[in-house]
Amino acid sequence: MRVERKMRPVVGMACALAFGMLPIGCTVGPEHRTPELEGPQRFRGVNGGMTSRPVEGEAGPGAMAEWWETMHDPLLTSLVERALDGSLDRKVALERVREARALRGVAAGARLPAVDASASATRSRGSQTVGNPAADSDGSSLYSVGLDASWELDVFGGLRRGVEAADADLGAAVESERLVRVTLAAEVARTYCEYRGLQARAALARRTIESQRSTLDVAASRSKAGLWAEIEAEQARAQLATRESQLPPLIAAQQQAAYRLALLMGKEPGALVEELAAEADVPVPPSEVPVGLPADLLRRRPDIRRAERQLAAATARTGVATAELYPKFYLTGAAGLSSGELASLPDSESGVWSIGPTMRWKVFQGGRIRANIEAADARQRAALLVFEQSWLAALEDVESTLTAFVQEQSRRERLTAAVEANRRAVDLADSRWRNGIGDFLTVLVNQRQLFDSEDQLVQSHTAVSTALARLYKALGGGWEDVAVGNQAAGGA
């Protein structure tokens, strides 16, 4: 259709506003800047076997993303990979990413024109006895088709701030998915190490039970020699029963760990029982752990990155609320065909159109706009505090886990020495008793001490490996940008 000459200036001004050609556009509200956080230059708990250089190169994101491979346990690697694929928690997190991406599309779509199509056919008849006696007694018809368009000219940037907020929400959702990956990998590794540790403790208990049964047989065969020999047999029998009572709880805990692993993988509880049944050692930590620097946490910890994105979203929404103080400008228009006869509807004479700018301004809202801005400001300040708290909590998490890891390694060394000494003591006490120059109580005491020290050593091996899993989780290891981006995009 032809736009009449007198309407051209109006259309031109509206288009200039829409495309930002006039110098009146601005973006109200504060600009987001990532806060600068102060922290230590290096971690206090770094000790031998740890590197505190920046996490890059061979010890960088790729290596830390699959840190469980450094423990050289193929089954552990397989379990982690299957858990990352099958975990229901991760699938939920991926759906949250897709939801945030879709909502970002909704926010971006608000900046584009909205066009509606309509069509109608009506038949009406007016009263001949009220107001218009000459009305057509047979009634009249009206047919119309057309398009209605409305375009908000984002003069003060409220819509742009909305897109910024949606972008930040999407980033927060991605970081939440990464946090699930980090947590999931650490939980699988920790639970698997606990399973192997319980399996080793149960095997140790069985070996000790067999050894003490042999001791009981010897003591029982000597009980006929007199009262003291009979007392020795009963002492051996009591210690054997005590050891046997310790086995069922270990088996129960071992099975529960297998059930927990299956749940982490999104499977039924008994799915991994047979696969895990074969005995294997507790995974051994690598000789060198890339701890990195505290500043790396800002880049690697998903919870800190998520808090920063949440702060960005809150900052942008302050701008959205502020934009409500100012007028809104729209370019509206309509074009179509309208006729009383269906046959003449396509004729050019049936054409109708309208176009023009519109301004709306919320002049009085009873203080609601100002109150909404204050609420947005409060949410922004709260998000800043959450960001700072996440940073401090991350530092505390790493330092505490480092301390536990280092001290448990030291404890394991002491326990190794204790086991060797107890084994020599058991051999000496048993030899003296069998040769009739030592008492049986000394044998039992040394056997008990040997079992206790061996059991504690297995627990310490397990604790070192599980502490390593917690350390990598604290450092933010267990995700990659490319992997998350591709999988989050799939099916979106």
Q: What is the mean pLDDT of residues 16-20?
A: 45
Model confidence band, residue 25 (pLDDT cutoffs 50, 70, 90) = low
225 or 146, higher pLDDT: 146
- Tens of pLDDT, residue by residue over 169-187, are 999 999 999 999 999 999 9
194 or 221, higher pLDDT: 194
Residues 481 and 344 occupy one common structural domain: no
CB-count exposure of residue 205 (10 Å: 0-12, 13-18, 19+) = buried
What pLDDT is recorded for position 129? 67
Say if residue 444's pLDDT is above 50: yes
* Distance in angstroms (rounded) separating the CA atoms of residues 463 and 484: 30
What pLDDT is recorded for position 134? 56
Inter-residue contact 208 to 240 (CB < 8 Å) = no
Q: CATH number, domain at 275? A: 1.20.1600.10
Residue 469's H or E segment, with its range, is helix 440-475
The reported pTM is 0.82
Residues 163 and 280 occupy one common structural domain: yes
What pLDDT is recorded for position 81? 94
Residue position matching structure tokens 């910890």: 301
Model confidence band, residue 60 (pLDDT cutoffs 50, 70, 90) = very low
* Distance in angstroms (rounded) separating the CA atoms of residues 431 and 261: 45
- Tens of pLDDT, residue by residue over 370-416, are 999 999 999 999 999 999 999 999 999 999 999 999 999 999 999 99
Residue at 147 is within a domain: no
C-alpha 332: how far from chain center: 44
452 or 292, higher pLDDT: 452
Looking at 336, 360, 384, which one is the last position of a domain? 360
What pLDDT is recorded for position 7? 41
Say if residue 227's pLDDT is above 80: no
Residues 24 and 40 occupy one common structural domain: no
Say if residue 73's pLDDT is above 90: yes
What pLDDT is recorded for position 395? 93
Model confidence band, residue 256 (pLDDT cutoffs 50, 70, 90) = very high
Residues 409 and 302 occupy one common structural domain: yes
What pLDDT is recorded for position 63? 63
Residue at 394 is within a domain: yes
Residues 20 and 69 occupy one common structural domain: no
CB-count exposure of residue 192 (10 Å: 0-12, 13-18, 19+) = buried
Residues 355 and 345 occupy one common structural domain: yes
Q: How far is CA 199 from CA 143, 172, 260, 441, 459, in A?
A: 82, 40, 15, 30, 11
Q: How far is CA 259 from CA 82, 86, 276, 417, in A?
A: 15, 15, 11, 35
What pLDDT is recorded for position 420? 94
Residue position matching structure tokens 């039970």: 209
What pLDDT is recorded for position 234? 82
Residues 297 and 239 occupy one common structural domain: yes
Say if residue 55's pLDDT is above 70: no
Buried b (16+ CB within 10 A) or exposed e, 88-100: ebbeebbebbbeb
Inter-residue contact 437 to 428 (CB < 8 Å) = no
262 or 42, higher pLDDT: 262
- Tens of pLDDT, residue by residue over 312-343, are 999 999 999 999 999 999 999 999 988 888 88
Q: What is the mean pLDDT of residues 465-484?
A: 82
Say if residue 2's pLDDT is above 70: no
What pLDDT is recorded for position 16? 47
Residue at 268 is within a domain: yes
Residue at 404 is within a domain: yes
What pLDDT is recorded for position 5? 40
Q: What is the mean pLDDT of the chain?
A: 85
Pairing of strands 50-51, 289-290: parallel
What pLDDT is recorded for position 224? 60
Please give the residue range of the domain that contains residue 13: 1-30+327-360
Beta strands in 250-298 (DSSP E): 289-290
The lowest-confidence range among 235-249, 300-314, 355-369, 470-484 is 470-484
Residue at 145 is within a domain: no
Model confidence band, residue 490 (pLDDT cutoffs 50, 70, 90) = very low
Q: How far is CA 289 from CA 49, 107, 187, 286, 464, in A?
A: 6, 44, 19, 7, 13
Residues 345 and 407 occupy one common structural domain: no
What pLDDT is recorded for position 480? 72
Residues 299 and 309 occupy one common structural domain: yes
According to DSSP, residue 275 is labeled T
According to DSSP, residue 134 is labeled T
- Tens of pLDDT, residue by residue over 100-158, are 999 999 999 999 999 999 998 888 876 666 655 555 556 788 889 999 999 999 999 99
Residue at 129 is within a domain: no
What pLDDT is recorded for position 165? 96
What pLDDT is recorded for position 228? 54
Model confidence band, residue 222 (pLDDT cutoffs 50, 70, 90) = low
What pLDDT is recorded for position 6? 41
What pLDDT is recorded for position 21? 40
Inter-residue contact 243 to 212 (CB < 8 Å) = yes
Q: CATH number, domain at 11? A: 2.20.200
* Distance in angstroms (rounded) separating the CA atoms of residues 249 and 438: 35
Residues 466 and 355 occupy one common structural domain: no
Residues 232 and 288 occupy one common structural domain: yes
Residues 18 and 48 occupy one common structural domain: no
Total domains in the fold of the chain: 2
Residue at 148 is within a domain: no
* Distance in angstroms (rounded) separating the CA atoms of residues 106 and 346: 36
13 or 252, higher pLDDT: 252
Residue at 127 is within a domain: no
Residue 377, both tokens: 């400001």
